[in-house]
Structure 1
Amino acid sequence: MEQEADILATEEAEAGVEQQLLRGSRNRDGRGAEDAYEGPSPHAYDGAADELPAKKDNTWSAWLNRPSIAILLPPFLLLATAMGAAAVPRVNLYLTLICQDYYKERERNLPSGSFTPIKLVLGADNPECEVPEIAAKAAMFTLYINVIVGLLSAISSPRLGQLSDRYGRRRLMILSSCGSLIAEIMLIFCARFPDTITYWWLLLAEVFEGALGSFTLVLALTHSYATDCTSFAKRAAAFSFFHGCLFTGIAIGPAIGGYVIEKTDSLISVFYAVVVIHVSVLLYFGFILPESLSKAKQMLARDKWAEKQRKLAESSVSKWRLALRHMNIFEPLNILWPKSGHNLAKLRLNMILIAAIDFIMFGVGFGAMTVVILYSKIQFHWTTQFAAYYTSIVNSTRVFALFVILTVITRLFRKKPPPGTPAAGCDTLDTYLIRGALSIEVLGYSFFVLARSTPLFVVGGVVQSFGGIGSPTLQSALTKHSPADKTGHLLGVIALLHALARVIGPTAFNGIYYKTAESYPQATFTVLVGLFMCAWVAAWFITPHIAVEGAEEAVERDDGESAESQPLVARS
């Protein structure tokens, strides 16, 4: 009965929004819709369905038309699986293309007849390519790609994320997925016609992917979609669902990719399958996925944006200063420096430290991946299939840590606050989980530094994967330090930081490996151990239970149970 009352309250609130929008559009005294609106706040029922049917309807059609994370999880899992399946073959394909170009250049520069042509099998494990110089060139080329995608997505992601507040999440998901599809198609052309289309054309394809936000924006939009569909109390659990699906896809993807390569004896077949997945997901977004933001909320956001632009145009600020403000990609970071609140100094320190640690963990996870694959291939002579199976094992362990270990720890040790208790930052368990995850990361990368054989290196990867519980904990803890009505802004900032990490991480780690590949190839992992030690020290300065001003949402209760105990993927 309480849930039905919530649904009726939601419909009445949104009806009031739509009526006030119409009233605001007819206003003749110069006020916008934001000023004209005097009814219930459109955010009063955070997480409520935006366009629920008048009566409870459990039919299949009604379920598909009701926004929920259960509808978004399947295509997201497909995208993660495609990314995991193509990760190792992509690096090996880059290596073969660069190797082929390297030997062709040597053949052109040497006198005729003094060089024996080398026949390479594209994407196969060619022993001729397993030399440090070619591996270093491959690392630098991967660095160029990451810099292009990272910088462009850092610029575009916050703006596209804000655009989704005005025009809906679904449209922006479609737009961002198109960029990834273009990049995959170009890679197939380079692999099929290496003599005609040089691998440098891949950089142009990555320009499209980065300008449209890449997977970084897709991840942020899925979190925004989950924010629209769930209450504040369930938001952390929703994030963990997406993180779990992400690493599930990355875990099973390499195994699927390795199996496809083994059965078809063709590395390019993996990328054909990836293209099919991208097209299928685009069709799913376009024709099946319901929009999570109602027209009323979209129109309110558009009117607020128009009013803000009108005030800026009428202000005394010069046009060139306005242009510089629009070009400043760091302006959204202001949310990490709140202007008011209790214990303001500790609140700011918490937000900065948590964001910085999350930035490090994402940058290391993304930037060290290529180095691990190249290092293992050169040092231990791993085949493509074995590298794929290793990646699958490591990410399977990470999924186990997310779905089982983190869930059990939360159930056993997290104390439920009394009903009506306002949000008060991260709790003590969050800080313990963050410090524990960083300790595991230090131990895992220490194995990488010391390993001189495949078994010990694999053990290090498995140990390090348990540190995966840190990422959703950090992002959940960060949202607890901000009012609920600013969650979308905060998620845009997280996307911005992840995009920058995608540039800085690979730039630093690939650059280190490039310089030390011949003298001390373990240097990258040594730096990582030191970096995580610094993050571990910083985590001890995070203060739990810092009250957040403006976070009115309290712990919900339904029939004596907390909101977290209710089904996360059900909306009825």
Structure 2
Amino acid sequence: MEEDATPPGRPRARPAVAVLCRGPVEPLVFLANFALVLQGPLTTQYLWHRFSADLGYNGTRDRGGCSNHSADPTLQEVETLTSHWTLYMNVGGFLVGLFTSTLLGAWSDRVGRRPLLVLASLGLLLQAVVSVFVVQLQLHVGYFVLGRILCALLGDFNGLLAASFASVADVSSSRNRTFRMALLEACIGVAGTLASLLGGHWLRAQGYANPFWLALALLIVMALYAAFCFGETVKEPESTRLFTLSHHRAIVQLYVAPAPEKSRKHLALYSLAIFVVVTVHFGAQDILTIYEMSTPLCWDSRLIGYGSAAQHLPYLTSLLGLRLLQCCLADAWVAEIGLAFNILGMVVFAFATVTPLMFTGYGLLFLSLVITPIIRAKLSKLVTKSELGALFSAVACVNSLAMLMASGIFNSLYPATLNFMKGFPFLLGAGLLFIPAILIGMLERTDPHLEFQQFPQSP
């Protein structure tokens, strides 16, 4: 017979929260990314047009004369201001997120995934509320930075992803974990594709306000789903303090504490690989909209919507490609193929001066997103089940550092290279991607069968 008393020194078990159903985590990721992608390009375009109005620039309105404005100093000032304010938003959010994502991820190992999912949902909701006020009331664009910081305080999208990937690892076997994580990333891609197609057309038809209102409504639904419909995947949640150094210490111990069942070298090198990949992906993403709006491409909101949809389509094509290639290749070599196509796509972007060439670059990225789910799956096999939240919060921390680095490098490099080669940041990204390609190949050759099975496989 089990004892009712809690053993001395052990945290008291947290009472189970009543839920309407035990739903999966995928709808949360879908709704969150749909809302974020709906807002992202719109925010960049809103900044562009606000600064254009302030400076009296309207060159992109006349597509016939767009190519004649390449040396217009006012255009370059609009591009620089837009790029710099994008940098301010990212830096504000990522610096705060470095602290909160590591704290909340390890905390979720003890209290369960639902509390972190709810907090992150509320943070995204709060950011959308601020964006709606900025657009509706024509507030100073600095409030976008405030909304980004408030979102980061509650976990941000990285915190939501950390809890989501940890919940998938909680219930998946080591055999199907790579595909399950790719499936979760495919939810990100499908949501991004739909939101991109909708956002561009809606902006042309009704302006900026209504798409932001839709994002707000979706985030309200997401917060309610996280609170009342998500099926908790941590079997025995415990009550524990949030603000304690033990959560951060759990992150550090992943990389420094010796243990026979894990390789600190592999943890560190795979983390470095994902750092470089995320840096290039988010750095390119940050400047793509500005690159497309300016000369010589001069895309309008409709084409930007198509481009953003093409940018998210690899989430789905990478899932299908992963499923097929896993039949004949090891995961590491699938990742190498994805990196090769990613490098080719970046090189094409660097020299794209016409719309068909730009979409050719997007087409070459069709396998570019097999890399991150493979690395996440390999990392999850290097730790015990009780360390999954700490691991994915460490990955979220790596993601935050990578995004901060990406914003600093690409948003600063882009205006600095406008005069001699606008596409130079994409060439830099292509060069950086050789680093994870070398690391993954080296790890596979030195120890190709490094698969630690720390806990029983789920059915």
TM-score by length of 2: 0.87
Partner of 1:312: none
Distance 1:23 1:182 in 2: 41
- Aligned match of 2:10 in 17, 25, 33? 33
Cα offset, 1:236, TM superposition: 2.7
Q: Is the 8 A contact 1:154 1:500 kept in 2?
A: yes
Give the Cα separation in 2 of the matches to 1:494 and 1:485: 16
In structure 1, what is the equivalent of residue 300 of structure 2? 383
Q: Over alpha carbons, which structure has the higher Rg?
A: 1
Deviation at 1:215, TM superposition (A): 0.6
Corresponding residue for 1:7? none
Q: Kindly state the Cα deviation for residue 498 of structure 1 after the two structures are TM-superposed.
A: 0.8
Aligned residue in 2 for 1:443: 344
Task: Provide the rounded CA distance (Å) in 2 between the counterparts of 1:97 and 1:331.
Answer: 45
In the alignment, the residues of structure 2 paired with residue 494 and residue 456 of structure 1 have an alpha-carbon distance, to the nearest angstrom, of 34
Contact 1:24 1:33 in 2 (8 A): yes
Q: Helix, strand or coil for the counterpart of 1:456?
A: helix
C-alpha distance 79-389 of structure 1, shift in aligned 2 (>3 A): same
Deviation of 1:258 (Å): 2.1
Cα distance in 1 for partners of 2:44, 2:171 equals 37
Q: What does the per-residue CA deviation read over 1:421-469, in whole Å, with 9 as the maximum and x for residues that have no partner? A: xxxxxxxx12212222221111111111222222112101220242111
Q: Deviation of residue 527 (structure 1)?
A: 0.9
Q: Does 1:514 align with 2:412?
A: no
Contact 2:269/2:439 (<8 A) preserved? yes
Note the 1:286-365 alignment, pairs <5 A: 286-294=227-235, 296-299=236-239, 302=240, 332-341=251-260, 347-365=263-281
Q: Does 1:280 align with 2:232?
A: no
Q: Secondary structure of 2:316's partner? A: helix
Partner of residue 5, structure 2: 23
Measured in 1, the distance between the counterparts of 2:325 and 2:116 equals: 36
Shift of 1:167: 2.9
Retained in 2: the 8 A contact 1:240–1:472? yes
- What is the aligned partner in structure 2 of residue 553 from structure 1? 455
- Pick aligned residue for 2:432 from 508, 511, 531: 531
Q: Which residue number in structure 2 is paired with residue 252 of structure 1?
A: 194
The CA distance in 2 between the partners of 1:200 and 1:255, in whole Å, is: 27
Relative distance call for 1:198 and 1:74 in structure 2 (3 A) is same
Q: Is residue 140 of structure 2 the alignment partner of residue 198 of structure 1? A: yes
Q: Aligned partners of 2:151 and 2:251: how far apart in 1? A: 22
Are the aligned partners of 2:109 and 2:387 in contact in 1 as well (CA < 8 Å)? no
User: What is the one-letter code of the residue matched to 1:413?
Assistant: C
Corresponding residue SS for 1:520: coil
User: 1 CA distance for matches of 2:134 and 2:122?
Assistant: 19
Note if contact 1:180-1:209 (Cα within 8 Å) is conserved in structure 2: yes
- Looking at structure 2, the residues matched to 489 and 166 of structure 1 have their Cα atoms a distance apart, in angstroms, of 10
Q: Distance in 1 between matches of 2:193 and 2:408?
A: 25
- What is the CA–CA distance in structure 2 between the aligned matches of 1:142 and 1:336, rounded to whole Å? 33
Quote the Cα distance in structure 1 between the aligned partners of 2:285 and 2:356. 18
1:222 aligns with 2:199: no
CA contact (8 A) 2:106 2:393 kept: yes
DSSP-derived class of the 1:339 partner: coil
Please list, as runs of the form range in 1=range in 2, the aligned pairs for 1:25-64 lying within 5 A after superposition: 31-33=8-10
Whole-angstrom distance in 2 between the partners of 1:203 and 1:538: 36
Instruction: Verify the 8 A CA contact 1:153 1:213 in the aligned structure 2.
Output: yes
Match of 2:150 in 1: 208
Say if 1:232 and 1:553, in contact at 8 Å, map to a contact too. Answer: no
Gap change, CA 1:174 and 1:340, over 3 Å in 2:
closer
Q: Which amino acid aligns with 2:47?
A: Y
Give yes or no for contact 1:132–1:378 (8 Å, CA) kept in 2.
no
Whole-angstrom distance in 1 between the partners of 2:223 and 2:53? 34
| Residue 368 of structure 1 pairs with residue 284 of structure 2 | yes
Aligned equivalents of 1:199, 1:297: Cα separation in 2: 41
Select 2:317's aligned residue among 397, 400, 404: 400
Q: 1:79 aligns with which of 21, 25, 32?
A: 32
Native 8 Å contact 2:276 2:402 kept in 1: yes
Structure 1 residues 289-334: Cα deviation after superposition (integer angstroms, max 9, x where no partner): 233335x4325xx3xx79xx8xxxxxxxxxxxxxxx67x9697244
C-alpha displacement of 1:189: 1.6
How many angstroms does 1:363 deviate by?
2.0
Whether the aligned pair in 2 keeps the contact of 1:162 and 1:492 (CA below 8 Å) is: yes
Match among 126, 135, 151 for residue 95 of structure 2: 151
- State how far apart, in whole Å, the 1-side matches of 2:75 and 2:448 are: 53
CA RMSD in angstroms comes to 3.3
Q: Determine helix, strand or coil for the equivalent of 1:283.
A: helix
Deviation at 1:192, TM superposition (A): 2.0
Looking at structure 2, the residues matched to 332 and 506 of structure 1 have their Cα atoms a distance apart, in angstroms, of: 25
Aligned to 1:99: 52
**TM-score, structure 1 normalization:** 0.71
Match of 1:314 in 2: none
Q: Distance in 2 between matches of 1:279 and 1:356?
A: 35
Write the distance in 1 (CA, Å) between the matches of 2:310 and 2:323: 20
Q: How far apart in 1 are the matches of 2:155 and 2:217?
A: 20
Deviation sequence 1:145-168 (CA, Å, 0-9, x none): 101111111110111122223333
Change (3 A) 1:484 1:182: closer
| 1:472-519: CA deviation from partner (whole Å, max 9, x where unpaired) | 111111212223332222111111111111211111111100211233
Tell me the amino acid that sits aligned with residue 46 of structure 2: L
Query: Structure 2: how far apart are the matches of 1:171 and 1:187?
Result: 25
CA deviation vs aligned residue, 1:179-237 (integer Å, no higher than 9, x gap): 2222222222222222xx21112222222111112111111111122233334444333
Helix, strand or coil at the partner of 2:447: coil
**Given the superposition, is the C-alpha separation of residues 330 and 359 from structure 1 closer, same or farther in structure 2, using an over 3 Å criterion?**
farther
Q: Distance in 1 between matches of 2:384 and 2:221?
A: 37
Q: 1:269 aligns with which of 182, 190, 210?
A: 210
Count of residue pairs brought into register by the alignment:
448
Cα distance in 1, alignment partners of residues 77 and 43 from structure 2 = 19
CA distance in 1, matches of 2:230, 2:435: 43
Q: Distance in 1 between matches of 2:393 and 2:223?
A: 22
Give, as a single letter, the amino acid of the residue that structure 1 aligns with 2:238. Answer: Q
- Return the alpha-carbon distance in structure 2 between the equivalents of residues 280 and 293 of structure 1: 23
8 Å CA contact retained: 1:252, 1:396: no
2:177 aligned with 1:235, yes or no?
yes
Cα distance in 1 for partners of 2:118, 2:180 equals 21
Given the alignment, which residue of 170, 188, 195 partners 2:132?
188
Alignment deviations for residues 262-290 of structure 1 (CA, whole Å, 9 cap, x no partner): 4x432221111101101111122223223
**How far is the alpha carbon of 1:253 from its aligned partner?**
1.2
1:88 match = 41
- Letter of the aligned partner of 2:10 in structure 1? A
Is contact 2:382–2:451 with CA below 8 Å preserved after alignment?
yes
1:126-160, CA deviations, whole angstroms, 9 ceiling, x for partnerless residues? Answer: 97998122111110110011011111111101111
Is the Cα contact below 8 Å between 2:278 and 2:399 reproduced in 1? yes
**% identity of equivalent residues:** 19
